[in-house]
Amino acid sequence: MRRIAVTTAALALLAWTGSGASAARNSTSTPLTAVIVAACHPSDDVTDRFATFVGQMQSVRGASRMAMHFTLLEKLETSTFDPVALSELRPWRRSKKGSTSFLYTQRVTALRDGGSYRMRVQFRWYGSDGKVFKTKTVRSGVCRQPAPLPNLEVTSITAKPGPTAGTEAYTITVQNTGTGDAGGVGVALKVDGGTASNGQVPAIAAGRTGTVTITGPACTGFVRAAVDPGGRIRETNETDNVLVTACPA
């Protein structure tokens, strides 16, 4: 089911363009087959992202025609690259008869957040009878796209009388100024340098704020609140997670 979900989303998000060309001369310095990342354009704006892959093959003795088949491979949070089912990539791209060199370019756009992409190309050589007599499969290098990251900051600490004498209920406000959402946001509170008390904001979407209330001893000097004290969440800026202020009124 996970692969089906990835494929379905990719079908909606990935666009394809292609162009092919064959040459009439051979070069001994050119490898028999090659697949390269000709262009990789990462961007925070998904509409600006693209990757261009080029497949190249040389004729061999007895070959009348050559062909390539492209399959886009995508890696998100999985440990493997999975094929993306794009209808535009289904056809085999064939050279003209008698060509000694064949190049074909495929470009994919609107690549997904945090995705890594490579192209798998299958090569075929056909004899004069139209039958395949040689095959080879090659994978390209990787084009990586950025994942939007959150940026968490403690913006304020307020207090009111706590549930028992000598305690206060401290409300800590955390703002996410980044472009990515954050979940399970931990907050640690120290009053007058004492032992930390911990709380958690379930989730803070990009551009939004969240609050958590933590009960601690009554303040006499200062309070210190730190968001994500364990450094579990990757952020665009890891240096602005702490707020120290005088005792809140």
What confidence category does residue 6 fall into, taking pLDDT thresholds of 50, 70 and 90? very low
* Residue whose tokens read 């406000």: 173
For residue 234, the model assigns a pLDDT of: 87
Total-model pTM: 0.63
Average pLDDT over residues 224-231: 96
What pLDDT is attached to residue 114?
A: 87
Domains 2-144 and 152-246 share a fold: yes
Least confident of 18-27, 84-93, 165-174: 18-27
What is the per-residue pLDDT for 22? 42
Q: How confident is the model at residue 30 (pLDDT cuts 50, 70, 90)?
A: low
- Pair 105, 54: CB distance under 8 Å: yes
Mean pLDDT of the chain: 87
Work out the average pLDDT over 97-118: 92
pLDDT tens for each residue of 171-220: 999 999 998 899 999 999 999 999 999 999 999 999 999 999 999 999 99
Q: What is the distance between the alpha carbons of residues 63 and 60, in angstroms, rounded to a whole number? A: 6
Domain positions in the chain? 2-144, 152-246
CATH of domain 2-144: 2.60.40.10
Q: For CA atoms 225, 226, 229, 232, give the dihedral sign.
A: positive
pLDDT in tens, 64-77: 999 999 999 999 87
What kind of fold does domain 152-246 have according to CATH? Answer: Immunoglobulin-like (2.60.40)
Nearest CA-CA partner of 99 in 65, 133, 74:
65
Q: By the 8 A CB rule, do 35 and 108 touch?
A: no
